[in-house]
Amino acid sequence: MSALIFDFPVQQDLPKRLAELRKAEGLTQVQVAQKLGITQGSYAHYERGLRRVPLEMIPKIAEAIGTDEEGLLGLQPKKGKRGPLSKLDKRFEKVRALPKKEQELAIDMLDRIINAAS
């Protein structure tokens, strides 16, 4: 298994970011570990920085905790021209700020609307 080879700040910050992102999604270590097909103890070692995250696990962990690889690694997205948020984007931002149960309800309603329109 290959280990991550990134600049020191990425390696140093990854364990903390793993825990923060997981908790923000309302997930336990057990739930994330199950999604990854590993033990809770192995995942806990990643979060505590006792073990480096294998490179091939980055996309899997990102998906399991509801982010993308750049977000997981703390990499800044490339800045392009971006105007003010659209009405839809503003509403999505508000939905992201809701508790997990209300987010799931909003997603369910959107899925129903999208499926009905398809």
The torsion angles phi and psi of 28, rounded to 5 degrees, stand at: -95, 165
Do 47 and 76 form a contact (C-beta atoms < 8 A)? Answer: no
20 shares its domain with 48: yes
- The pLDDT of residue 79: 53
The 10s digit of each residue's pLDDT in 93-110 is 888 888 888 888 988 888
Same domain, residue pair 67 and 18: yes
DSSP line for 80-114: ----SPPHHHHHHHHHHTS-HHHHHHHHHHHHHHH
Q: Calculate the alpha carbon distances from 73 to 4, 51, 93 in Å.
A: 11, 16, 22
Q: Are residues 66 and 36 in the same domain?
A: yes
The answer as to whether 66 is a domain residue is: yes
Q: Which residues contact 25 (CB under 8 A, 6 or more apart)?
A: 65, 66, 100
Q: What is the pLDDT of residue 6?
A: 47
Asked if 99 and 43 sit in the same domain, the reply is no
Q: What is the pLDDT of residue 69?
A: 86
Asked whether residue 81 is assigned to any structural domain, the reply reads: no
pTM over 0.75: no
One domain, residues 67 and 31: yes
Same domain, 25 and 66: yes
Regarding whether 20 and 45 lie in a shared domain, the answer is: yes
Do both 59 and 97 map to the same domain?
A: no
Task: Specify whether 25 is located in the same domain as 69.
Answer: yes
- Dmax (CA) of the chain: 49
Write out residues in the chain with pLDDT < 70, as ranges. Answer: 1-11, 76-85
Please tell me the predicted confidence (pLDDT) of residue 80. 53
Give the domain range for residue 40: 8-73
User: How many CA atoms are closer than 13 Å to the CA of 77, on its beta-carbon side?
Assistant: 8
